Amino acid sequence: MPRGRRRGSPPTRQTILAAALGRFTNEGYDRASLRDIATDAGVDPSLIIHYFSNKETLFAEALHLPRISEALHRTLEAAGPGSEEELGAHIAQALVGLLEVSTLAPAVTALIRSAASNEDVSRILREFLTRTILRRITASLTAPDPAFRAALVASQVLGVMMARFVLRLEPLASADPGLLARVIAPNLQHYLTGDLGGYNHPERQSAPPWS
Amino acid sequence: MPRGRRRGSPPTRQTILAAALGRFTNEGYDRASLRDIATDAGVDPSLIIHYFSNKETLFAEALHLPRISEALHRTLEAAGPGSEEELGAHIAQALVGLLEVSTLAPAVTALIRSAASNEDVSRILREFLTRTILRRITASLTAPDPAFRAALVASQVLGVMMARFVLRLEPLASADPGLLARVIAPNLQHYLTGDLGGYNHPERQSAPPWS
DNA sequence: GTCTATACGTGGATAGAC
DNA sequence: GTCTATCCACGTATAGAC
């Protein structure tokens, strides 16, 4: 398979990519069939293979993962440097805002949906979360166990996206993005700088930073 | 999982159910094929259809959803009635403990995995979360917007299970269950009784940076 | 560049012999 | 109760005609 294969006309290519993103977003990698994507795009199924050698390549190009990574990274960087006590709010605003405003929400949804059933996608999402969040955290945090804290932050972000876009759990699914960011911000902050409870008794919690 | 089961073994039904649960847990509903399940169980694929009329019935019986619901409900009830300021800790302990201690973890994992790509399973999980958590919350909570609070709690629980069992995000995936429950407890408590940041007070909202 | 036809595998489900 | 054989629909991918 030569990599320098001729590309098709841009309009048709874009149409296929848009249809593919839609299917991957709503059905995940497995259930989204090339036939359905072709039907949505109004083209022949074999044309998809002609443009993108296989389904995995189509998935990668439709999601455009580097674009997500770059946008998220830029948003996090733009949130301001080094303010440790407001890092939770910054991350919350960056992540939620990134999902709501931009055109990246479908890609992220597709990523989460597909990660549940596809091990490769799971690995991609795992590394993506780890690298992006952990890097931002370690850049301006002095608390111990940054990896554990990053994973906890990732878990809450994952849960919100899962509840909002996959499960469509109301009223969270229809909640205002700004409100959502503000609500989860103190919890992210607790994961980032709070006491992780390793030294306390289970029934006696230390005072959270927001109380 | 026992392989190579031969004829003359009475508990064929249980063997099939065990193999099915294993496949559904590790691969989700779609990717788990009856042929693979039959191979794991050491039986013929048609035998599965003979016992359970179709794949959906097999899925339902393998997960034994009523058992999960009952166990979770009982654990939540046993956590004690009415203590509003410790409800977060109770829910955290109940949910995390339920997943770690009992044999229900595979079923819950299968449920989450399958919900990502299957709309029917998604609905089941959604209604399950809503009913179980919301009911417990409204039973001993006076704070406004219980539905929104319940959804937020569900999102954090979902995220932890997703990160722990599906994505296997370290070091959260290998973290001690008790520690995990203690760490997320104050955050659940914040969702339950904390200030929701202007959910019903729109005039207090500050302008998000992305709007 | 686009489509028709088709190969090839897989997956769920059925009929019937023993 | 278990297996063999089979059906049919679907999904990815290829070959080749226009």
CB atoms within 10 A of CB A12: 14
Instruction: State both tokens at B3.
Output: 């392989």
CA separation for the pair A201, A149 (Å, rounded): 20
Asked if the model's pLDDT at residue A7 lies above 50, the reply is no
CA of B127, closest CA in chain A: separation in Å?
9
* DSSP code per residue over A169-193: -TTTTTS-HHHHHHHHHHHHHHHHH
**pLDDT for residue A159:** 96
Asked if the model's pLDDT at residue B157 lies above 50, the reply is yes
**pLDDT for residue B130:** 87
Instruction: State both tokens at A154.
Output: 């990732």
Higher pLDDT, B105 or A5: B105
Q: Gap from A57 CA to D12 C1', in Å? A: 13
Q: Are B47 and B16 in contact (CB under 8 A)?
A: yes
Asked if the model's pLDDT at residue A98 lies above 90, the reply is no
Q: Does B120 touch chain A (CB under 8 A)?
A: no
Asked if the model's pLDDT at residue B78 lies above 90, the reply is no
Q: Return the axis-axis angle of helices A146-161 and A105-115, rounded to nearest 10°.
A: 100
Q: Give the confidence band of B166 by pLDDT, cuts at 50, 70, 90.
A: very high
Distances (CA, A) of B125 to A154, B57, B103, B129, B192: 21, 16, 18, 6, 21
Asked if the model's pLDDT at residue A207 lies above 70, the reply is no
Q: Which CATH superfamily is domain B64-193 in?
A: Tetracycline Repressor, domain 2 (1.10.357.10)
- Regarding the domain delimited by B12-62, which CATH topology (the fold level of the hierarchy) does it fall under? Arc Repressor Mutant, subunit A (1.10.10)
**Most confident listed range (A7-21, A69-83, A158-172, B91-105):** A158-172
Higher pLDDT, B122 or B1: B122
Q: Are A92 and A185 in contact (CB under 8 A)?
A: yes
CA separation for the pair A202, B102 (Å, rounded): 20
**B11-46 residue pLDDT tens:** 788 889 999 999 999 999 999 999 999 999 889 999
Q: Does B143 touch chain A (CB under 8 A)?
A: no
Q: Does B187 touch chain A (CB under 8 A)?
A: yes
pTM: 0.85
Q: Is the CB of A15 under 7 A from strand C?
A: no
Q: Does A143 touch chain B (CB under 8 A)?
A: no
* Distance from the first to the final alpha carbon of chain A: 61
Residue type, A1: M
**pLDDT for residue A13:** 85
**pLDDT for residue A137:** 83
Distances (CA, A) of A104 to A52, A65, A72, B172: 21, 9, 10, 26
Q: Tell me if B211 and A187 make a contact (CB, 8 A cut-off).
A: no
**A10-68 residue pLDDT tens:** 578 888 898 999 999 999 998 998 989 998 888 888 989 988 888 988 999 999 888 88
Higher pLDDT, B205 or A51: A51
Q: Which residues of B touch A146 (CB under 8 A)?
A: none
Using CB atoms, pick whichever of B168, B171, B186 lies closest to residue A190. Answer: B186
Asked if the model's pLDDT at residue A3 lies above 70, the reply is no
Phi-psi region of B170 (alpha: psi -120 to 50; beta: other; left: phi over 0): beta
**What dotted CATH number matches A10-63?**
1.10.10.60
Residues of A (14-33) placing their beta carbon closer than 7 angstroms to any atom of strand D are 32-33
Q: Are B179 and B92 in contact (CB under 8 A)?
A: no
Q: Does A110 touch chain B (CB under 8 A)?
A: no
CA separation for the pair B179, B184 (Å, rounded): 9
Q: Give the confidence band of A79 by pLDDT, cuts at 50, 70, 90.
A: low
- Strand D bases near protein CB (under 7 Å) are 1-5, 10-16
Q: Which of A165-169, B44-48, B132-136, B146-150 has the lowest mean pLDDT?
A: B132-136
Asked if the model's pLDDT at residue B2 lies above 50, the reply is no
Instruction: State both tokens at A184.
Output: 């989860």
Q: Does A60 touch chain B (CB under 8 A)?
A: no
Asked if the model's pLDDT at residue B6 lies above 50, the reply is no
Helix (H) or strand (E) holding B20: helix B12-31
CA of A16, closest CA in chain B: separation in Å?
21
Instruction: State both tokens at A207.
Output: 């005072």
**pLDDT for residue B74:** 83
Would you call B16 exposed, middle or buried from its count of C-beta atoms within 10 A (0-12, 13-18, 19+)?
buried
Instruction: State both tokens at B170.
Output: 């370290």
CB contact burial B182-208 (16+ within 10 A = b; e otherwise): bbbbbbbbbbbbbebbbbeeeeeeeeb
Q: Give the count of Cβ contacts less than 8 A between chain A and B.
A: 199
Q: Tell me if A169 and B154 make a contact (CB, 8 A cut-off).
A: yes
CA separation for the pair A198, B77 (Å, rounded): 27
Instruction: State both tokens at A21.
Output: 């993103």
Query: Closest nt to A33 (CA→C1')?
Result: D11
**pLDDT for residue B162:** 94
Q: Gap from B116 CA to D1 C1', in Å? A: 37
Q: Gap from A12 CA to D13 C1', in Å? A: 20
Q: Gap from B111 CA to D2 C1', in Å? A: 31
CA separation for the pair A182, A114 (Å, rounded): 28
Q: Give the confidence band of A204 by pLDDT, cuts at 50, 70, 90.
A: very low
**pLDDT for residue A162:** 94
**pLDDT for residue A95:** 82
Nearest CA in chain A to B24: A117
Using CB atoms, pick whichever of B126, B159, B194 lies closest to residue A156. Answer: B159
Instruction: State both tokens at A2.
Output: 């030569």
Higher pLDDT, B76 or A162: A162
Residue B144: HSE in the Cβ half-sphere, 13 Å Cα cutoff: 7
Name the residue ranges covered by the structural domains of chain A: 10-63, 65-193
Higher pLDDT, B81 or A139: A139
**pLDDT over 90, % of chain A:** 34
Would you call B153 exposed, middle or buried from its count of C-beta atoms within 10 A (0-12, 13-18, 19+)?
buried
**Average pLDDT across chain B, whole number:** 84
Residue type, B118: N
**pLDDT for residue B142:** 84
Give domain A65-193's CATH number out of 3.40.640.10, 1.10.357.10, 1.20.58.100, 3.90.1150.10: 1.10.357.10
Q: Gap from B122 CA to C6 C1', in Å? A: 37
Using CB atoms, pick whichever of B116, B130, B205 lies closest to residue A116. Answer: B116
**pLDDT for residue A91:** 87
Asked if the model's pLDDT at residue A178 lies above 50, the reply is yes
CA separation for the pair A37, A20 (Å, rounded): 5
**pLDDT for residue B65:** 84
